[in-house]
Chains A and B, each alone.
Chain A
Amino acid sequence: MLTLTGVGKRYPTGDRALTDIELTLPKGQVMALIGPSGAGKSTLIRCVNRLVEPTQGSIRLDGTELTKLSGHKLRHARRSMGMIFQEYALVDRLTVMENVLSGQLGYVGFWRSFLRRYPQEAVIEAFRLLERVGLPHAIDKRADALSGGQRQRVGIARALLQSPKLLLVDEPTASLDPKTSRQIMRLIRELCAERELAAIINIHDVALAQQFADRIVGLRAGEIVFDGLPSELTSEILTTIYGEEDWDTTPEPMDEEVSGDETTNTAPINPPYARVMSSIEAGAAR
């Protein structure tokens, strides 16, 4: 369904993020993309929906060449690729329902979305998705009033409201505690099965990847160094991906580094407008 041939990305600074990526993803397959930080995992999935422009190669989704699209056609293609982010990437000051409905933006016109007059079916589907991820009671809460795990569920609902064929998932568990991480991964897995979605999941937690993916691709310095079943992932292969380490004694790497997150967060400590507002409060702006 998704085919990448010879995809490369070189940043204007000259850094090579990806070299000659060849990858084919059949319908309904959940693929985990593992590799050390800076290996190009994020760049790779962002190349697929063109948040990052690949500098060479071709990316085809159901026969459509994505790299050449622009304007209306690009937006059309993006609708069919739902993306889930590491820091949830919700709009904090919008309500949960508004955040989920933003998944419909590719389908409705500007004025409709501006006035929040979404079609009835879209609202029904949005509510059903919120029920599915377990948050129907939270529709009118602001996104910044939710815990990390809840936010990620909203992020998932938003991606699914696009009725995508493919999910692009960027480190879905990096900001979550171990238990919530597993719940989120299980949810993504189940939803992919229910809707026959293909998914590319960037993940640094090898154990989680092995448990929840059908297939694992290892990326190192922008090149694919492993492509196979989770069971084929041995210590030697992990060493080629990540470098030397005693793999058998670290069953769930990184777990301890992540702070617990199932309690309700307050608003972010540093909202984007903090600096401007403080200069106003000080009376220093003239």
Chain B
Amino acid sequence: MSEQARQQAAQRGQWRRLPLIDSPRLRWGLAIGAVVYLFLALASVEVNWERVAEGAGRAVNFLGAFMQPDFVSRYDDIVAGLLESLTMTLTSTVLGVLLAIPVGLGAARNISPLPIYFVCRAIIAVSRTFQEIIIAILFVVMFGFGPFAGMITLAFATIGFMAKLLAEDIEDLDWRQVEAVRATGASWWQTMNHAVQPQVMPRLIGLSMYRLDINFRESSVIGIVGAGGIGATLNTSLSRYEYDTSAAILLIIIAIVLLCEYSSSHVRRWTQ
């Protein structure tokens, strides 16, 4: 309906909301497309209802287990897995952040030469595209089972995450401050230290804390493919249907993530 027609209709008291998409053909096309897709997608979901009915009892057991989590009977496994996860988290974050700094500097278009820029951006792209668990599979093959492969995996993922954000920070930092420091005759290193570092440092610390939190969450799954950590313990308990132990592990994970978030918000306030 034209603008004028809508005004005349409104004058007579007839008014409908403006459609979100102007062209009726596109509007109906999208709607029908969505319905067809939904139909095809739902049709391709095969559900074994007998198996689901059988599992319903387990679901109840599992919910019950949350009421009575069992920290005790697999105490040693839980502690060992947890310690491994925590150590992996810490070392990988430290290593990852340290390595992300040169990569991030290299990936910032305004301070690095073109060839280095492309190499660093490629590293970032690869690290960000693949799930941690896929990278973990490869590193487990290379470095053998255990937390070392897990640590390398998480460090690699950290590099992609941190370097991209760091590079973007550097790309839009306040250039006048850099020039002011340069104008005093400072060398490249001095410029970095006095003009770039103060501008990006607070966010860098905040992001590192955040990445610590992500790394912990990830460390709880890469154990599934043998890269160490609490994931292996969790996987075992689930496949043995020891839901009370699984519930205990999940509760611990939630508690640690909460703790991480709480403390990182404090650290962020403290550094800014």
Interface residues of A (CB under 8 A from B): 95, 97-98, 101, 116, 118, 120-124, 126-127, 136-137, 139-140, 282-284, 286
Contacts and interface: CB of A to CB of B under 8 A. Distances in A.
B13 A121 contact: yes
Could you say which interface size class chain B belongs to? 20 to 34
Given A282-B165, A284-B165, A284-B210, A123 B18 contact: no
B164 A283 contact: yes
B77 to A, nearest CB: 28
B3 interface: yes
B168 A282 contact: yes
B241 interface: no
A118 B17 CA distance: 10
3 interchain residue pairs of minimum CB distance: A120-B13, A124-B13, A116-B17
A284 B160 CA distance: 11
A140 B18 CA distance: 7
Given A139-B7, A282-B165, A283-B128, 4 more contacts: A116-B16, A120-B12, A123-B15, A139-B6
A127 B207 CA distance: 52
A208 B12 CA distance: 37
A131 to B, nearest CB: 8
11 contacts: A97-B10, A98-B17, A116-B15, A116-B17, A120-B14, A123-B13, A123-B14, A124-B13, A127-B13, A139-B7, A139-B10
Contacts of A139: 6-7, 10, 15
B214 interface: yes
Interface residues of A, dominant DSSP: helix
Contacts of A97: 10, 15
A111 to B, nearest CB: 14
B11 interface: yes
Contacts of B165: 282-284
Instruction: Find the residue from A116, A118, A140 having the highest chain B CB count within 10 A.
Output: A140
Contacts of B214: 286
Nearest to B128: A283
Contact of A284 (B3, B16, B207): B207
Nearest to B164: A283
Contacts of A136: 7, 11
A169 to B, nearest CB: 26
A137 B11 CA distance: 11
Contacts of A283: 128, 161, 164-165
Contacts of B3: 137, 140
A127 B10 contact: yes
Nearest to B168: A282
B150 to A, nearest CB: 18
Contacts of A120: 12-14
Contacts of A286: 210, 214
Contacts of B10: 97, 123, 126-127, 139
Nearest to A98: B17
B11 A127 contact: yes
Contacts of B18: 95, 140
B239 to A, nearest CB: 27
Nearest to A284: B165
A282 B7 CA distance: 43
A116 B7 CA distance: 16
Instruction: Find the residue from B14, B15, B164 having the highest chain A CB count within 10 A.
Output: B15
B17 A137 contact: no
A101 B16 CA distance: 11
A282 B160 CA distance: 12
Interface in B163-197: 164-165, 168
B164 to A, nearest CB: 6
Contact of B12 (A122, A124, A137, A140): A124
A95 B3 CA distance: 13
